[in-house]
Structure 1
Amino acid sequence: MTQQFDAHRTLWIGREERAEAMIPIIGSLYRDHGVVTSVHGRRLLNRSAIGLLKAHKFAKQVDGAELDVDDTMRVLEALRALRPGPASIDIARLVSGFAERGDGRTLEEFVRDELQPVLNGDDASSGGTDVVLYGFGRIGRLLARILIAHAGHGDGLRLRAIVVRKGSANDLVKRASLLRRDSVHGSFDGTITVDEENNTILANGTLIQVIYSNDPASIDYTAFGINNAIVVDNTGRWRDAEGLGQHLACPGVARVLLTAPGKGELKNIVHGINHDTITAEDTILSAASCTTNAITPVLKAVNERYGVVHGHVETVHSFTNDQNLIDNFHSGDRRGRSAALNMVITETGAAKAVAKALPELAGKLTGSAIRVPTPNVSLAILNLRLETTPSREEVNAYLRELSLGSTLRQQIDFIDSPDVVSTDFVGSHRAGIVDGLATIATENNLVLYVWYDNEFGYSCQVVRVLEQMAQTHPTVLPERAAV
Structure 2
Amino acid sequence: MTVKDDSFTDWKNREEIAESMIPLIGMLHRERDVTVLLHSRSLVNKSVVSILKTHRFARQIAGEELSVTDTLPFVQALTTLDLGPSQIDIGRLAEIHQADDRGLSVAEFTAEAVAGATGGNKIDRREPRDVVLYGFGRIGRLVARLLIEKAGSGNGLRLRAIVVRGGGDQDIIKRASLLRRDSIHGQFQGTITVDEAESAIIANGNTIKVIYADDPSEVDYTAYGINNAILIDNTGKWRDREGLSQHLRPGIDKVVLTAPGKGDVPNIVHGVNHDTIKPDEQILSCASCTTNAIVPPLKAMADEYGVLRGHVETVHSFTNDQNLLDNYHKADRRGRSAPLNMVITETGAASAVAKALPDLKAPITGSSIRVPVPDVSIAILSLRLGRETTREEVLDHLRDVSLTSPLKRQIDFTTAPDAVSSDFIGSRHSSIVDAGATKVDGDNAILYLWYDNEFGYSCQVVRVVQHVTGVEYPTYPAPAV
After TM superposition, the score normalised by the length of structure 2 is 0.96
Paired amino acid for 1:440? K
Cα drift, residue 443 of structure 1: 2.7
Paired amino acid for 1:210? V
| Distance across 1 between alignment mates of 2:367 and 2:64 | 43
8 Å CA contact retained: 2:61, 2:413: no
| Distance across 1 between alignment mates of 2:413 and 2:356 | 22
1:170 aligns with 2:170: yes
Cα drift, residue 363 of structure 1: 6.0
SS in 1 for 2:108: helix
Alignment partner, residue 228 of structure 1: 228
| Distance across 2 between alignment mates of 1:358 and 1:96 | 32
SS in 2 for 1:174: helix
Alignment partner, residue 129 of structure 1: 129
Cα drift, residue 104 of structure 1: 3.6
SS in 2 for 1:151: helix
Paired amino acid for 1:11? D
Alignment partner, residue 364 of structure 1: 363
User: Cα–Cα, structure 1 residues 126 and 435, in superposed 2: closer, same or farther, change >3 Å?
Assistant: closer
| Distance across 1 between alignment mates of 2:67 and 2:332 | 56
SS in 2 for 1:466: helix
SS in 2 for 1:445: strand
User: Cα–Cα, structure 1 residues 441 and 71, in superposed 2: closer, same or farther, change >3 Å?
Assistant: closer
Cα drift, residue 361 of structure 1: 3.1
| Distance across 1 between alignment mates of 2:429 and 2:357 | 19
8 Å CA contact retained: 1:261, 1:288: yes
Cα drift, residue 309 of structure 1: 1.2
1:447 aligns with 2:446: yes
8 Å CA contact retained: 1:312, 1:366: yes
SS in 2 for 1:167: coil
Alignment partner, residue 215 of structure 1: 215
Paired amino acid for 1:256? V
1:259 aligns with 2:254: no
Alignment partner, residue 156 of structure 1: 156
Alignment partner, residue 431 of structure 2: 432
| Distance across 1 between alignment mates of 2:98 and 2:295 | 35
| Distance across 1 between alignment mates of 2:419 and 2:242 | 44
After the TM superposition, list the runs of 4 or more consecutive aligned residues in structure 1 that deviate by more than 6 angstroms: none
Paired amino acid for 1:160? R
8 Å CA contact retained: 1:352, 1:362: no
Paired amino acid for 2:331? G
Alignment partner, residue 48 of structure 1: 47
Cα drift, residue 12 of structure 1: 2.0
Paired amino acid for 1:198? E
Paired amino acid for 1:235? T
Paired amino acid for 2:113? E
SS in 1 for 2:44: coil
Paired amino acid for 2:336? R
Alignment partner, residue 472 of structure 1: 471
Alignment partner, residue 146 of structure 2: 146
Cα drift, residue 123 of structure 1: 8.6
Q: Deviations over 1:83-131 (max 9, x none)?
A: 3111110112212322333624321122112221111267975322111
8 Å CA contact retained: 2:117, 2:123: no
Identity, in percent, stands at 58
| Distance across 2 between alignment mates of 1:382 and 1:115 | 37
Any gaps of 5 or more consecutive residues in structure 1? none
| Distance across 2 between alignment mates of 1:457 and 1:180 | 19
Alignment partner, residue 275 of structure 1: 274
Paired amino acid for 1:270? V
Alignment partner, residue 386 of structure 2: 387
User: Cα–Cα, structure 1 residues 102 and 359, in superposed 2: closer, same or farther, change >3 Å?
Assistant: same
8 Å CA contact retained: 1:352, 1:363: no
Q: Within 5 Å, give how 1:409-428 maps onto structure 2.
A: 409-428=408-427
8 Å CA contact retained: 2:87, 2:475: yes
Paired amino acid for 1:148? I
Any gaps of 5 or more consecutive residues in structure 2? none
Paired amino acid for 2:52? L
Bigger Cα displacement from structure 2, 87-96 vs 367-376? 87-96
The count of aligned residue pairs is 480
Paired amino acid for 2:157? L
| Distance across 2 between alignment mates of 1:370 and 1:3 | 53
| Distance across 2 between alignment mates of 1:351 and 1:452 | 16
1:302 aligns with 2:297: no
Paired amino acid for 2:261? G
| Distance across 2 between alignment mates of 1:60 and 1:448 | 21
Bigger Cα displacement from structure 2, 297-306 vs 66-75? 66-75
1:108 aligns with 2:137: no
CA RMSD, Structure 1 to Structure 2 (Å): 1.6
Paired amino acid for 1:432? S
Q: Deviations over 1:184-221 (max 9, x none)?
A: 11111110010000011111111111111111122111
8 Å CA contact retained: 1:125, 1:154: no
8 Å CA contact retained: 1:102, 1:110: no
Paired amino acid for 2:326? D
| Distance across 2 between alignment mates of 1:101 and 1:442 | 37
Bigger Cα displacement from structure 2, 104-113 vs 211-220? 104-113
Paired amino acid for 2:445? L
| Distance across 2 between alignment mates of 1:114 and 1:349 | 42
After TM superposition, the score normalised by the length of structure 1 is 0.96
8 Å CA contact retained: 2:126, 2:471: no
8 Å CA contact retained: 1:131, 1:232: yes
Cα drift, residue 65 of structure 1: 4.5
8 Å CA contact retained: 1:75, 1:91: yes
User: Cα–Cα, structure 1 residues 387 and 254, in superposed 2: closer, same or farther, change >3 Å?
Assistant: same
SS in 1 for 2:152: coil
Alignment partner, residue 241 of structure 2: 241
8 Å CA contact retained: 1:130, 1:157: yes
| Distance across 1 between alignment mates of 2:93 and 2:362 | 43
| Distance across 2 between alignment mates of 1:359 and 1:379 | 24
